Amino acid sequence: MGVMRIGHINIRVLDMEAALHHYVKVLGLQQTDTDAAGNAYLKGWDEWDKYSVMLTPADRAGMNHIAYKVENDADLDTLGKRIRDYGIAVEAVAAGELPGCGRAIRFRLPSGHLMYLYAEKEFVGKAVGTTNPDPWPDGLHGAGVHWLDHALLMCELHPEQGVNKVAESTNFMQEALGFKLTEQVMVGPDNDIQAAAWLARTTTPHDIAFVGGPVMGLHHCAFFLDEWADVLKAADVLAKNKVRIDVTPQRHGITRGTTSYFFDPSGNRNETFAGLGYLTQPDMPVVTWTEDNLASGIFYHTGELNEAFTDVYTEGA
C-alpha cells in the first residue's frame, strides 16, 4: 500500500528539437508521444509505462512537477487524507488531466515543489518484452539509459532565519507519504542542522533527495545504468556529442553510487547513476554525514568540494 516508486518528471526546455536530440539520441530514451501543446513524452527502454520524462516547451528551464506512482487507486484517498491532516492542501485531478494517467492528487511539498500522486498510467511495455526477454534491445541510442532513477530537489535553507525546508520536506515525506530516510547531512557547530536528506520507498538508496540552498529549484534528475563501465561509456557519448559535462565519472560517498553529471541544452542538470549502492531495508539505520566530511560524501575520490555543483541549478517551481 502507498507510494511505490517515482513515476515521472516534467522538465521545462527552451528548444524542443535540441532537447529531443539530447534525451533521445544522446541519453537513449525513447519518444512515445507528443501532444497538441507541444509536450514530448519519453521513457527508458526498461520502463513499461508510457513515459517517465515529460518535456514542456517554455521560456525558462527547470521542473514543473514530479510525480510518484501509488500501488492502488484507493491509496490516493488514504494518502490525500494524510496530506490534508498534515496541513497541506490537496487538489483532486480528473483522469486524463495528467496526460496518460488515471485520476490523481496534486499538492505542494513544504519546499514549494509541485508533486502528483497517481495509480494508473497508460502501459506500453518494455522494449525487450516480458516473455523470454533479451538482456537489452537492439538499436539503442547513445548511453542507452534504463529508467528515470530519482531527482534531487533544492530547498530553501537559511538557519540564521529559522528556515529549513530540507527538514520540513523530509519530515513530510516520512510522516505523510511513508518514505524512509536513508542518508542525511548534518551541519552547524553541533551538527544539528539537517542540510540534505535522501529518502526511499524502494530498495535503492534514494527515490528523492533534498539539499539546502538559497532558493528552491531542481538540482538534477538521474537516469540508471547497470555499472561503472556504462557510466564511463556514457561520458564518452556525452563528449562525442559536445554535451556540457559538469562532473566527470566519480563515486559518491553518499549512496555509494557511481556517477557523472552534465547539462541538457536548456541548462537542466542530468545524472547517469549506476549500481545498487546498497540495499535499503526498513530496519537499516540512517547513514549520517557531518560537515567536516561532506566533501568525501559528495565526491569520494577527490574529497574536494565543488561550489558550482551545489550553487548552480535551475531555480523556481
Strand partners, 218: 153, 314
Helices 165-175 and 73-86 sit at what angle, rounded to 10 degrees? 130
Which among 113, 156, 220, 313 is annotated as catalytic?
220
For residue 49, report the phi and psi dihedrals to the nearest 5 degrees. -75, 165
Q: Check if 146 is active-site.
A: no
E strand intervals along the chain: 3-13, 30-34, 40-43, 53-57, 62-70, 91-93, 104-108, 114-118, 148-158, 163-164, 180-187, 193-200, 208-213, 217-225, 245-251, 258-263, 269-274, 287-290, 314-315
Active site residue 291: no
Active site residue 271: yes
Contact 108, 115 (CB under 8 A): yes
3-class DSSP assignment, residue 142: coil
Cell of 256: 555509494
Whether residue 223 contacts residue 272, with contact meaning beta carbons closer than 8 Å, is answered with yes
Residue 8 is among the residues annotated as catalytic for this protein: no
Among the options 146, 206, 219, 313, which is catalytic?
206
Q: Which three cell numbers stand for residue 208?
A: 528523492
65 with 55: CB under 8 angstroms? no
Among the listed residues 8, 65, 150, 219, the single catalytic one is 150
Q: What would the grid cell of residue 98 be?
A: 495528467
Q: 21 catalytic, yes or no?
A: no
* Residue 206 known to be catalytic: yes
| Helix residue spans in the chain (DSSP H) | 16-20, 73-86, 165-175, 228-240, 294-298, 307-311
d(CA 257, CA 134): 26
Known catalytic residues? Answer: 150, 206, 220, 252, 261, 271
